[in-house]
């Protein structure tokens, strides 16, 4: 019996992604972004995102198949993001995945979006160590996790965002007059600034939870204290980035030490930030912790990471989702498999 080729579909926000994975190996992928359509509004508009997914889904799946040199008939399972995310955007991806699974007569797997980010690292560095600490930092989520077997075991949440997450960069970038998306713009601007120019706060120092609303407000108040023509954007960006990187990496490394874990994995869109990566490397080296961070293209939303979770579930013998599976836009992260609407949330795995 040959290996199963898993097609993964991601449509939780503004990227439409498709990827093909088999036995932990990425075969092909494609991503279409609608960010240019949202940029003039300063952020993602849900209705625009959903329409963009409708137009992009079929071409993206075809492009991923072409990239892999495969035909649709080669697909042996379909995995799709069922939450969390924008409701309309999620529905487009789930409807497309259901249609493909039904037409091909193959199993369908619902996947938690954040588990997809965790699994993305396996496509670059191989299987995750058991256990490992994972820091997920994306636009809408900041979570510190203790992960064992991603396909079989519950995911322990050590800390979560209490308010603003990675979108703190987007919001502050707008205040600073930088373009959307704000994360890369802050990273670029910070290269010519001083990280010590502004003493921004480090929120919740004694907890594994994260709060960036106060930091966002402090940056806005600082910007308001300058006339637009005098605003030292580079210094503000560098100081903001330093505060965020300091909080993220300090808590992540402390969690590794406290739980006796020798591997830290950082994933999600903000994991592409240069200062987060360099400070994590420095602190992990000092603590004797191995650091794993996927390449930047695997940090942002993509279908390959969803296919990676589907591949793990298939190989673990997990029960597929029924075709009646729905979406859960605010799903908590408990298991990698996410089968809302009456199906068991936990993957059923043989002992």
Query: What does the pLDDT average to over 7-23?
Result: 97
Query: What does the pLDDT average to over 100-104?
Result: 98
- pLDDT reported for residue 311: 98
Instruction: List pLDDT tens digits, range 261-273.
Output: 999 999 999 999 9
Q: Which residues of 199-219 are buried (b: 16+ CB within 10 A; e: fewer)?
A: ebeebbeeebbbbbeebbebb
Order of strands, sheet of 290-292, starting from the edge strand that comes earlier in the sequence = 156-160, 142-147, 132-137, 263-267, 290-292
105: Cβ–Cβ under 8 A, 6 or more apart, which residues?
none
Query: What does the pLDDT average to over 286-308?
Result: 97
Query: What does the pLDDT average to over 116-135?
Result: 98
pLDDT of residue 349 exceeding 60, the answer is: no
Instruction: List pLDDT tens digits, range 181-203.
Output: 889 999 999 999 999 999 999 98
**pTM of this structure:** 0.93
Instruction: Output the six-digit token pair for 12.
Output: 């939780």
User: pLDDT over 90 for what percent of the chain?
Assistant: 82
pLDDT of residue 156 exceeding 60, the answer is: yes
* Dihedral pair phi/psi, residue 307, rounded to 5°: -65, -35
Confidence grade of residue 24 (pLDDT, cut at 50, 70, 90): very high
- pLDDT reported for residue 52: 93
pLDDT of residue 65 exceeding 60, the answer is: yes
- pLDDT reported for residue 268: 95
pLDDT of residue 289 exceeding 60, the answer is: yes
pLDDT of residue 211 exceeding 70, the answer is: yes
């Amino acid at each position: 019996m040959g290996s199963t080729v898993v097609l993964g579909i991601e449509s939780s926000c503004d990227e439409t992604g498709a990827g093909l994975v088999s036995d932990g190996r990425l075969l092909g992928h494609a991503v279409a972004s609608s960010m240019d359509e949202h940029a003039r509004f300063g952020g993602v508009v849900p209705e625009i995102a959903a329409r963009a997914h409708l137009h992009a889904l079929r071409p993206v799946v075809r492009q991923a198949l072409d990239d892999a040199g495969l035909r649709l008939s080669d697909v042996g399972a379909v995995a799709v993001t069922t939450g969390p995310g924008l409701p309309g955007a999620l529905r487009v991806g789930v409807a497309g995945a259901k249609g493909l699974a039904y037409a091909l007569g193959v199993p369908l797997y619902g996947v938690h979006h954040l588990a997809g980010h965790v699994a993305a690292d396996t496509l670059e560095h191989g299987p995750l160590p058991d256990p490992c600490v994972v820091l997920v930092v994306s636009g809408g989520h900041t979570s510190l996790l203790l992960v064992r077997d991603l396909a079989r075991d519950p995911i322990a949440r050590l800390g979560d965002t209490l308010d603003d997450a990675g979108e703190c960069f987007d919001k502050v970038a707008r205040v600073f007059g930088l373009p959307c998306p704000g994360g890369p713009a802050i990273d670029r601007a910070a290269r010519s600034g001083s990280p010590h120019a502004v003493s921004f706060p480090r929120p919740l120092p004694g907890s594994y939870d994260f709060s960036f609303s106060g930091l966002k407000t402090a940056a806005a108040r600082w910007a308001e204290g300058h006339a637009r023509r005098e605003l030292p954007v580079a210094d503000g960006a560098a100081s903001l980035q330093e505060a965020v990187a300091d909080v993220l990496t300090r808590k992540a490394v402390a969690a590794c030490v406290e739980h006796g874990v020798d591997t830290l994995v950082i994933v999600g869109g903000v994991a592409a930030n240069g200062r987060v990566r360099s400070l994590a490397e420095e602190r992990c080296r000092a603590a004797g912790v191995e650091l794993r961070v996927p390449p930047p293209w695997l940090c942002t939303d993509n279908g390959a990471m969803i296919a990676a979770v589907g591949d793990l579930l298939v190989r673990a013998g997990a029960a597929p989702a029924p075709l009646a599976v729905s979406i859960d836009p605010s799903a908590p992260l408990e298991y990698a498999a996410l089968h809302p609407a009456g199906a068991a949330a936990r993957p059923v795995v043989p002992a």
